[in-house]
Amino acid sequence: MQGNCVKCIKKAVFSPAYGPHRFCKQHFLEFFEKRVRRTIRENRLIEGREKLVVAYSGGKDSAVALYLVNRIFGKSNPVEALLIDEGIPKYRDKALAIAEENCRKWGVPFKRVSFEEEFGFTMVDVMRKTGPKKEIGSTCAYCGVLRRQLMNRHSREMKASKLVTGHNLDDEAQSVLMNVLDADVARFLRIGPKSHSLEGMVPRIKTLYLSPEKEAIAFAKMAGIEYFDQECCPFKWQAKRNEFRQLVEEFEAKFPGTMFSVVGFLREVKTLVGEKEEGKKLSACSKCGEASSQKVCKACKMVEGMKGKIN
């Protein structure tokens, strides 16, 4: 990389493609953290002495989210981490080993739960009945729904005021396009840096909402944050999101700043139509007691779908 840091005379080590600025290590770390702080402040993601629980997978994004939340709010707010083991050998077990070590290093209390203990099966079991055949649905759909239920249930049991997730700018831009092309207006309008607070649901916030994935990777490496950087989930090939990820990456490479524009479009639309609560009021699932818009929640229906179907 050519040139010096825009903040000092040191050699630049990072230059975002969407802008003319270049940064040395110190000033890039400051730049990244400042934007996270601004995202939190402008969207009022965290207030007072709210208890913060971070959904920590061991990957780069959630590692950076936990590191910064603890760095910024560790002295003023209780901060804990929630680790979920879906039961994918040589993937999640390795990632969570790193996550536990980081939690100990940073002095962050953590709780670890597993699909096997909670539901009686792992994602490997699910894969055997989904995958190419999709006998009972999509593997990724199962994982997403069941993970979200565990995140809500356990963060509530941990008395969290807010649940922090590691969703970054890339994730947000992909979600916007997915919902536009699916003509899912309701879900489109629910996207944003924070969820609305509904009874039985712990509000979720995205502190990396305006942070590109490449910059999260750079921050983690420059800050010395260890994270699981080997092959992604071995089941990810089934996810529809992959197509949108590739689309967004191609446009961002050709037209730097595209992701900011996509998310900016969402924000403009939401400003025009106004923030709205979800249309359906939630009640308790008749089986598990978790908040649901239906008599039996989607997670319980999926668990029932797996009963008697494990090889």
Please indicate, yes or no, if residue 223 is contained in any of the structural domains: yes
Residue 35 has what pLDDT? 98
- Residue 226 is part of which domain span? 25-306
- What distance lies between CA 148 and its chain's CA centroid? 11
What percentage of the chain carries pLDDT values higher than 70? 92
The CATH number given to whatever domain includes residue 153 is 3.40.50.620
Residues 6 or more apart from 222 whose CB is under 8 A from it? 13, 14, 25, 28, 29
pLDDT at 96 (0 to 100) = 97
User: Residue 128 and residue 299: Cα distance in Å, rounded?
Assistant: 18
For residue 39 the two structure tokens come to: 């995202």
| pLDDT, mean of residues 5-26 | 94
Burial of 48 (0-12, 13-18, 19+ CB in 10 A): exposed
Query: What is the number of domains present in the chain?
Result: 1
13 in any annotated domain:
no
Q: Identify whether 6 is part of a domain.
A: no
* pLDDT tens-digit readout, 36-88: 999 999 999 999 899 999 999 999 999 999 999 999 999 999 999 999 999 99
Q: Is residue 4 part of a domain?
A: no
In-domain check, residue 296: yes
- Tell me whether residue 231 is in a domain: yes
- Which pLDDT tens digit goes with each residue over 119-147? 999 999 888 887 565 666 678 888 999 99
The whole-number average pLDDT for the span 235-249 is 83
- What does the pLDDT read at residue 133? 59
Q: For 162-213, what is each residue's pLDDT tens digit? A: 999 999 999 999 999 999 999 999 889 989 999 876 778 999 999 999 999 9
Whether 142 is in a domain gets the answer: yes
Q: Is residue 249 assigned to a domain? A: yes
